[in-house]
Structure 1
Amino acid sequence: MKVSLSRSFVKGDASWLQGLLGLFYKPARLQIAALCMRPGVTENEILLVSTRDTGRLILPKGWPESDKQDHETAATEAYEEAGVVGRADPCALGTFSSYKGRSDGSKLRTRVLVFKLQFEKQLSKFPELGQRQILWLPFSEAVDRANENNLKRFLRHHRAEIA
């Protein structure tokens, strides 16, 4: 009796397995964040904004924009969410894992690419005015008040470059 195996098994094609795993595993999506800093009395102050749905305190962040470099997107997010204008470093400070809440209650796993932004000014009118709480906090307090453990770890890890 001769047994024939499908070519996908013989050639090592595991597309069927990748399709099955796709039902259970979703790759991280990239978001771009602005780590806005300004001089404080004893240490630099960090900007945290609340999410619109749950009120968690996070960095201003959003999805990459195809017509902008990532550091430009970070500056755009700072402006849109908090009215902050400044110069974003073209080199990312680093990344951390996060989750993006969705309107259906589910969470989308994300990877957040963080760019430092040196504060120049804060405008009184901006696109998301009144939709978020905006807090400038001394570095140590910002770490305590941030509502994402991975963001807290990220800030602690990069303290020397921030505070």
Structure 2
Amino acid sequence: MLLEFLRGWSSKVEGVPAPRQSGALPYAIVDNRVVFLLVTSRRTGRWIFPKGSISSGMTAWDSAAKEALEEAGVSGQIGANAIGTYENTDRGVRTEIDLYPLRVEAQLQTWQEMDQRLRHWALLAETKRLLADRSLSSIAEALHRQLTVRRLMQ
């Protein structure tokens, strides 16, 4: 009986899935170049993209657009397909965040979290330098590549 049990045993531990959040990857095309909008996190001051918990009754991408409006004061066209996913560990809790591309169409002069965060537009090279999380840099690069190829095909 023990032998039967051990045959089906695996050393792989299946954990509880990480909670999910959604975030926006705000971008614009300025002078035929892709620029990204970063914000500082409230707790550490590191440069990130707007993100947060998925609001009840909202799609993940609509919730991401809401976070961009609250944290960065921008709105625009949000994509319904995530451009990438990354992991974040905050106070010992691991979370997976899906990032949705947000083509910025409007930028407010005053917004909800303007006293708690900085915002900064940057080209890809500076974006990669400012982001502490390499997986965020990779996602920004993927969107940049996608947008650049799309513009070349037009």
TM-score normalised by L of structure 1: 0.76
Alpha-carbon shift at residue 42 of structure 1 (Å):
5.7
The answer to whether the Cα contact below 8 Å between 2:83 and 2:139 also exists between their aligned partners in 1 is no
Determine the C-alpha separation between the residues in 2 that align with 1:41 and 1:124: 22
1:59 alignment partner in structure 2: 49
Structure 1 residues 157 and 117: CA distance shift in structure 2, 3 A: closer
Amino acid of the structure 2 residue aligned with 1:155: A
2:85 alignment partner in structure 1: 95
Structure with higher Rg: it is: 1
Question: CA offsets per residue over residues 120-140 of structure 1, 9 Å max, x none?
Answer: 111112111110010111122
1:120 alignment partner in structure 2: 105
Structure 1 residues 127 and 141: CA distance shift in structure 2, 3 A: same
The answer to whether the Cα contact below 8 Å between 2:29 and 2:35 also exists between their aligned partners in 1 is yes
Determine the C-alpha separation between the residues in 2 that align with 1:136 and 1:107: 30
State how many pairs are aligned: 145
Q: Please, which runs of 5 or more residues in structure 2 have no aligned partner?
A: 149-154
Determine the C-alpha separation between the residues in 1 that align with 2:24 and 2:35: 13
The answer to whether the Cα contact below 8 Å between 1:37 and 1:162 also exists between their aligned partners in 2 is no
Determine the C-alpha separation between the residues in 1 that align with 2:147 and 2:44: 27
Alpha-carbon shift at residue 162 of structure 1 (Å):
4.3
Alpha-carbon shift at residue 27 of structure 1 (Å):
3.7
Question: CA offsets per residue over residues 46-100 of structure 1, 9 Å max, x none?
Answer: 011100111010010000112111111111000000110111011221212222x
The answer to whether the Cα contact below 8 Å between 1:50 and 1:58 also exists between their aligned partners in 2 is yes
Identical-residue share of aligned pairs (%): 32
Determine the C-alpha separation between the residues in 2 that align with 1:44 and 1:70: 24
Determine the C-alpha separation between the residues in 2 that align with 1:27 and 1:159: 30
Determine the C-alpha separation between the residues in 2 that align with 1:144 and 1:158: 16
